Amino acid sequence: MRLSFQKQRGFTLIEMLVATLIMLIGLVAVAQLVPFAIQLNTTNRYDSTALVIAQREMEGMLNQPLSATAFTDPQGLLCPVGSTCNLGNPATPNQVVGSPVVMVNGRPMIDFSAGQVANYNFSFTDPNDPSGVAYDVRWAVITFTNAAGKRFMVGVRRQGGNGPLQAVTLDTMVEK
């Protein structure tokens, strides 16, 4: 009796198992990236919100007269309702007044590791944000000699939560 062998066509079971294993490893690797991407997106949202709060606070300070040493906000967006927020002290020119400032890579940054200074900080929670995240808003002011101008440094950082709490600091000057 004579056996004839025909040429085999298609995939063998071993080849199919190897291909499935490679595809499974790729899917597991991609699946691990999804939670990381979600966490990164949430962190970026908090950083963007902190930047918007800092910019709004900075613009509110810049809209005050140079001679002003304090301001209030009846709406409670720039300064808590019933509170006074200070804008420096002309009696101490060319000195940082308010929240402590540290130099990081040659840039002044609000020092959130130091304690809060009265009337130079407040906690802000956006009433339209369903997650209710609170932000620590602090600032420092340098009044120039003869009250010819001021330098404002506003820092905002998310309060609580886990992970690194990146602070946003804006720095600007205004002169007569």
Tens of pLDDT, residue by residue over 81-91, are: 888 899 988 88
Alpha-carbon 134 to chain mean position: 12
Pairing mode, strands 134-143 and 121-125? antiparallel
**Closest among 81, 71, 48 to 158, alpha carbons compared:** 48
Domain that holds residue 73: 13-175
Please check the confidence at residue 162 and state whether its pLDDT lies above 80: no
**Closest among 44, 45, 52 to 154, alpha carbons compared:** 52
| Residue 87 covered by a domain | yes
Q: 9: buried, middle or exposed (CB in 10 Å: 19+, 13-18, 0-12)?
A: exposed
| Residue 8 covered by a domain | no
In this structure, what token pair is assigned to residue 43? 């962190």
Q: How many domains does the chain have?
A: 1
In this structure, what token pair is assigned to residue 81? 């309702």
Pairing mode, strands 107-110 and 121-125? unpaired
| Residue 6 covered by a domain | no
| Residue 3 covered by a domain | no
Please check the confidence at residue 163 and state whether its pLDDT lies above 70: no
Alpha-carbon distance 142 to 110, whole Å? 13
| Residue 100 covered by a domain | yes
* pTM for the full predicted model: 0.79
Span 120-133, pLDDT tens digits: 999 998 888 888 88
Please check the confidence at residue 164 and state whether its pLDDT lies above 80: no
| Residue 122 covered by a domain | yes
Helix, strand, coil % over all residues of the chain, rounded to 5: 30, 30, 40
Please check the confidence at residue 8 and state whether its pLDDT lies above 70: no
| Residue 1 covered by a domain | no
CA distance readout (Å), 130 to 51, 106, 163: 19, 37, 21
